[in-house]
Structure 1
C-alpha cells in the first residue's frame, strides 16, 4: 500500500485530496497544524468508511514540529511514496507593495516557501525508499511572473507583496529540486489547483474542491512517463494544463 503525507489536510482542498487518495488505495498521513482538528477530519473520513488514514500534527513553519512529525511517521513506516506540500496561508488582502509590513511577508514566506522546503528535506530519506516517489508543491496561478506581466490576463490586477511572491519562490524551488533529483525516479511538480471556493478566499472561487483535489491527485499519482519540474494550472492553460512561469 502506497503512503502519502499531505500537509494542511484537515479541511478544504487538502482534505478532499486525502479522501480521493484513500479511495485510490493510498494510506494517508493527514497533516494538520492542530492535532485535534486533524483527528476530527480523520473521524469524518472514517464515518464514510475511509479508514486508511491517521492524523499527524505538523506546523510546516516550525522546524521542531516538522522534526517531530518526521519522527512520528518514521516510527510507523520506512517508506513514503508521496509528499503533497499543501499547507499555506494568504496573509490577508490587500498586500500593497509600498505599505505591507515586512513581518507579514516573512510570515507568509515561512509557511508557503520555507515550510515546503523544511518538510521536503525532513522526509526526503523516506521518499527515497519509494520505487516511484512523487512531490507535489501546491502553488497558485498568482505565482506566474509571465502572466503578471500580461495586462490581458484576467487576474492581472490581483497583485500583492506576500502571497503571490511566496508562490513564485516556491515555483523556483520546485525547479531546483526537480533538477537535483532528475536522475532518479522522483517526479516533482508545482501544481495550481485553481481558483477554488474555500475558506482561504471566503468561498469566492469558481472551482469546486473536488475538481481542485483531482488536479493534485493527478500529479501525485503520475506514472513513470509523467513530467517533472513543471508548473501546471488548469486556470492558466485549460487546454494543456501547462502554465507559464
Structure 2
C-alpha cells in the first residue's frame, strides 16, 4: 500500500445490495483503500474478495456502534495499521419500517433506533476524530435521509406520503443526524475536516423496491462519493441529495 493512499472507513456494510457496499466500490475505484465494517465481522469479510476482484484494496473490521469497546478496538486496529483515517462514512443504521405512529410506537424499539442511529453515530465520530486529525484532507459523511428534513417537498416530515407508513422514529433520528452534522462541522472546521450529511434518495437496496419507484443503488452512492471527495474549500455542515442542498 502506498503511504499516501487515502483510507476510508464505512460502517454498516453487510450486504452487496446495500448503499454501503456500493459506496465502498465507487470509492475504491477512485483509489481509496476501503475498510468496511459490520456488526459481525463474518458479514463483512466475504465482501472483501468481491472488492478485490474489482481491483480494489479492501479490509474489514468488526464494529458494533452501540458498544464503546467495539468502536475503540476498531480505532486501535486502524491506528496501528494505517496511522490515520481520511474519510469516515457513518452508514450503519437500525430501522423498523412498520406502520407505528407516535401514539402506538413500541418505545423499546424506539430506544434501539435512537441508541443506534443517534448515539451510535455520535460514538463512532467521537472515537475516530483523533485519527481524522492525522489526515491532510479529513472528511466525514453522515448518511441521512430527506425524511429527516422538515420541509423537503416529497419526503420531508411535513410532506411525507403516509402510504409508505408513518415511520416517525426513523425520521426523527435522521433529523437528529442532520443536527449532529451541523455541530460536528463547526467543531472540526478548525482542523480542516469537512462534515456533511447526504441523502442517497429512494434506492433499491431490497427486492421489490424498484416496483415502488426506487432507483439503482449506484445512483444513490454517487452523491455520497461526491461529498466524500469534495475539495478542501468545499462546503461543510450542509445536507445534500444528488449534489444539491436539501432544505432542513
1:128 aligns with 2:133: yes
Residue 98 (structure 1) shift: 0.2
Residue 161 (structure 1) shift: 2.6
Q: Distance in 2 between matches of 1:133 and 1:143?
A: 25
Q: Distance in 1 between matches of 2:117 and 2:207?
A: 13
Shift in CA distance, 144/199, structure 1 to aligned 2, threshold 3 Å:
same
Q: Which residue does the alignment assign to 1:32?
A: 38
Q: Single out whichever of 212-221 and 67-76 deviates more from structure 2.
A: 67-76
Q: Distance in 2 between matches of 1:179 and 1:57?
A: 29
Unaligned runs of 5+ in 1: 235-239
1:94 aligns with 2:102: no
- 1:189 is aligned, of 175, 192, 196, to 196
- 2:89 is aligned, of 84, 87, 95, to 84
Residue 212 (structure 1) shift: 1.0
Q: Which residue does the alignment assign to 2:240?
A: 232
Residue 215 (structure 1) shift: 0.9
Q: Which residue does the alignment assign to 2:185?
A: 178
Q: Distance in 1 between matches of 2:246 and 2:208?
A: 21
- 1:213 is aligned, of 212, 221, 235, to 221
Residue 69 (structure 1) shift: 1.1
Calculate the TM-score normalised by the size of structure 2. Answer: 0.89
RMSD, matched Cα: 1.8
Q: Distance in 2 between matches of 1:200 and 1:102?
A: 29
Contact map agreement 1:7 1:84 (CA 8 A) in 2 = yes
Q: Distance in 1 between matches of 2:106 and 2:49?
A: 39
Q: Distance in 1 between matches of 2:27 and 2:240?
A: 19
Q: Distance in 1 between matches of 2:132 and 2:39?
A: 22
- 1:166 is aligned, of 168, 173, 191, to 173
Q: Which residue does the alignment assign to 2:245?
A: 242
Residue 206 (structure 1) shift: 1.6
Residue 222 (structure 1) shift: 0.7
Q: Which residue does the alignment assign to 1:223?
A: 231
Partner-residue secondary structure (3-state), 1:173: helix
Q: Which residue does the alignment assign to 1:3?
A: 7
Partner-residue secondary structure (3-state), 2:140: strand
Residue 199 (structure 1) shift: 2.7
Give the count of matched residue pairs. Answer: 236
Q: Distance in 1 between matches of 2:225 and 2:135?
A: 17
